Amino acid sequence: MLSVAEAQARILADLVSTGPELVPLADSWGRIAAADIAARLDNPPADVSAMDGYAVRAGDCAPGGTLSLVGESPAGHPFPGRVGPGETVRIYTGSVVPDGADAILIQENAQEDGGTVTVAVPPGAGQHIRRRGQDFAVDQVVVPAGRALTARDIGLAAAANHAWVAVRRRPVVAILSTGDEIALPGDPIAPGGIANSNTPMLAALVRACGGVPVMLPSARDTVSDIARLAHGIETADLLLTAGGASVGRYDLVQQGLERIGLTVDFWKIAMRPGKPLMHGRIGRVSVLGLPGNPVAALVCGLVFALPAIRALAGHAERSLPEDVAILGGDLPENDRRADYLRATLSRAPDGRLLATAFSRQDSAMLHTLARSQALILRPPHAPPARAGEPCRVVRLDMLAI
Ligand SMILES: Nc1nc2c(c(=O)[nH]1)N[C@H]1C(S)=C(S)[C@@H](COP(=O)(O)OP(=O)(O)OC[C@H]3O[C@@H](n4cnc5c(N)ncnc54)[C@H](O)[C@@H]3O)O[C@H]1N2
Ligand code: MOO
């Protein structure tokens, strides 16, 4: 069986990011920059005042001295002249500093009377002046390609004079759940039936990764129904299936998809939950066959679909947030499958992060999954571990998934 790292590498190996599209800057939140965004101007575009007061020549200012007021520089209306010896110009926060001036005398430290300004406390040279380009300079990259735009990036790109930005097209991810027993949530559940939790859960995961989920109707456990529902999948960027991945008589996802051209890259990995994971391709579309047990579907979704969707979306950051914690309880020796244990997080008295695994790790138990703040990572063949020992965790509490 393949290791988790090998499986991840093979899934990512041939994924190509989607192409760019232009969107209005204000609509670009959470989108992935398709190219570096470079400043179209210096910011500030000129030397400007950081305070309301008077533009002066610092050398002319002495306590009790007077200056002659020769004009005004309101924001957006720069003073056209020059501040000569013994002169000053009224100025405001954000206004352009006139030529000749080299400091701002704040108005609390001055007294204006007619055409004269009396200095109470002189400013130091350069004081209260924001220099041209001190925030960023023209042509400087302010948002690098591959970054998911935040509100702060949008403010920055706007300041850099961009109205539109090139972002990656969101990858379209089709989701196909299989199983005679599954019904739409809210519908009557027949005897032996179960509400379909995987499809809406995976759709939310896709959306959180920056993709556009397309929820296909669920397939019955027949080769023909699976092939029928996945027909035409070539227009998607990725197909996620859930269920029918294991070895039972009715686990028919591979056979169903083979009818429409699936070639399998690998099947089964050394991971718990998630052993029957399958990866393959139908034409240009990558296929991830997730196990049906909902916890296995979601954990495999995090470990394999998340980096794949982020790669398709052109996201520079593809890995899950990890941390080191100390174990809140003893753990037994592990077998050959990498284990992902649902756990809560708290703080030990010394402030260290404490990860405590739920006692039951059945991969059908969604309630413990929803309550988990972390997944404790147990490498294959890990020896028994005692409470207080360090462990690696995936920080589910840092993912809005
Ligand atoms: N003899 C063996 N049996 C199993 C093995 C094995 O190696 N040998 N592997 C086990 C592991 S590990 C897993 S995980 C499951 C995966 O099975 P499938 O992917 O074939 O999933 P199903 O059999 O279709 O369903 C499993 C379970 O999950 C429920 N389910 C399925 N789809 C949904 C859905 N959309 N929403 C909610 N619940 C769903 C389904 O009713 C089953 O209870 O196989 C083990 N068996
Ligand atoms: O993926 Mo299965 O859940 O390992 O039980």
Closest ligand relative to 176 C-alpha: 1
Q: 61 has which bridge partners?
A: none
Q: Is 140 in the pocket of ligand 1 (CB under 6 A)?
A: no
Q: Examine the fold and report which residue of 273, 292, 312 is the final residue of a domain before the chain moves on.
A: 312
Q: Is 251 in the pocket of ligand 1 (CB under 6 A)?
A: yes
Residues 205 and 113 in one domain: no
Atom number, ligand 2, closest to the C-alpha of residue 272: 4
Q: Which long-range contacts (CB under 8 A, 24 or more apart) does 135-140 make?
A: 135/43, 135/44, 135/159, 136/39, 136/42, 136/43, 136/160, 137/39, 137/42, 138/39, 138/40, 138/41, 138/42, 139/38, 139/39, 140/38, 140/39
Distance (Å) from CA 194 to ligand 2 centroid: 18
Residues 193 and 155 in one domain: no
Residues 35 and 65 in one domain: no
Distance (Å) from CA 271 to ligand 2 centroid: 8
Residues 278 and 327 in one domain: no
Our count of domains for the chain comes to 4
Name the residue at shortest CA distance from atom 32 of ligand 1: 292
Q: Is 49 in the pocket of ligand 1 (CB under 6 A)?
A: no
Give the DSSP per-residue string, 324-392: EEEESS-BPPP-SSEEEEEEEEEE-TTS-EEEEE-S---TT-HHHHHH-SEEEEE-TTPPPB-TTSEEE
For ligand 2, residues with CB inside 6 Å are: 272-275, 291, 293, 296, 363
Pairing of strands 129-130, 48-49: antiparallel
Which of 177, 277, 278, 293 for a ligand 1 pocket mutation test, highest count of atoms within 8 Å of Cβ? 293
Distance (Å) from CA 219 to ligand 1 centroid: 15
Residues 39 and 159 in one domain: yes
Instruction: Give the model's pLDDT for residue 304.
Output: 98
Residues 174 and 160 in one domain: no
Atom number, ligand 2, closest to the C-alpha of residue 300: 1
- Does residue 138 sit within a domain? no
Give the DSSP per-residue string, 87-135: EEEEE-TTPBPPBT--EEEEGGGEEEETTEEEESSPPPTTTTEEPTTSS
Residues 63 and 76 in one domain: yes
Closest ligand relative to 177 C-alpha: 1
- Does residue 373 sit within a domain? yes
Question: Complex ipTM above 0.90?
Answer: yes
Q: What is the pLDDT of residues 343-391, one digit of tens each?
A: 999 999 999 999 999 999 999 999 999 999 999 999 999 999 999 999 9
- Does residue 30 sit within a domain? yes
Instruction: Look at the alpha carbons of 226, 227, 231, 237 in this order and tell me if their dihedral is positive or negative.
Output: positive
Instruction: Give the model's pLDDT for residue 14.
Output: 81
Q: Is 254 in the pocket of ligand 1 (CB under 6 A)?
A: no
Name the residue at shortest CA distance from atom 4 of ligand 2: 273
Instruction: Give the model's pLDDT for residue 25.
Output: 98
Give the DSSP per-residue string, 236-269: SSEEEEES--SSSTT--HHHHHHTTTEEEEEE-B
- Does residue 284 sit within a domain? yes
Q: Is 87 in the pocket of ligand 1 (CB under 6 A)?
A: no
Residues 100 and 223 in one domain: no
Q: What is the mean pLDDT of residues 291-302?
A: 98
Q: 392 has which bridge partners?
A: 324, 377
Distance (Å) from CA 195 to ligand 1 centroid: 14
Q: What is the pLDDT of residues 32-47, one digit of tens each?
A: 999 999 999 999 999 9
Distance separating alpha carbons of residues 288 and 209, to the nearest angstrom = 15
Distance separating alpha carbons of residues 146 and 313, to the nearest angstrom = 9
Residues 329 and 301 in one domain: no
- Does residue 28 sit within a domain? yes
- Does residue 137 sit within a domain? no
- Does residue 61 sit within a domain? yes
Q: What is the CATH number of the domain that holds 349?
A: 2.40.340.10
Distance (Å) from CA 286 to ligand 2 centroid: 22
Instruction: Give the model's pLDDT for residue 16.
Output: 87
Name the residue at shortest CA distance from atom 27 of ligand 1: 293
Q: What is the CATH number of the domain that holds 27?
A: 3.90.105.10
Confidence band (pLDDT; 50, 70, 90) for 69?
A: very high
Distance (Å) from CA 292 to ligand 1 centroid: 4
Q: What is the CATH number of the domain that holds 92?
A: 2.170.190.11
Distance separating alpha carbons of residues 393 and 327, to the nearest angstrom = 10
Q: Examine the fold and report which residue of 289, 312, 335 is the final residue of a domain before the chain moves on.
A: 312
Q: What is the mean pLDDT of residues 226-251?
A: 95
Residues 244 and 365 in one domain: no
Distance (Å) from CA 380 to ligand 2 centroid: 15
Atom number, ligand 1, closest to the C-alpha of residue 290: 19
Q: What is the mean pLDDT of residues 15-26?
A: 96
Distance (Å) from CA 358 to ligand 1 centroid: 21
Confidence band (pLDDT; 50, 70, 90) for 96?
A: very high
Which of 275, 365, 369 for a ligand 2 pocket mutation test, highest count of atoms within 8 Å of Cβ? 275
Name the residue at shortest CA distance from atom 31 of ligand 1: 292
Domain residue limits at 279: 4-16+170-312
Atom number, ligand 2, closest to the C-alpha of residue 276: 1
Q: What is the pLDDT of residues 163-221, one digit of tens each?
A: 999 999 999 999 999 999 999 999 999 999 999 999 999 999 999 999 999 999 999 99
Atom number, ligand 2, closest to the C-alpha of residue 291: 1
* Mean pLDDT over each residue of the chain, to the nearest integer: 97
Name the residue at shortest CA distance from atom 3 of ligand 2: 273
Residues 36 and 65 in one domain: no
Q: What is the CATH number of the domain that holds 188?
A: 3.40.980.10
Predicted confidence (pLDDT) at residue 316 exceeds the cutoff of 90? no
Instruction: Give the model's pLDDT for residue 322.
Output: 98
- Does residue 198 sit within a domain? yes
Residues 158 and 123 in one domain: no
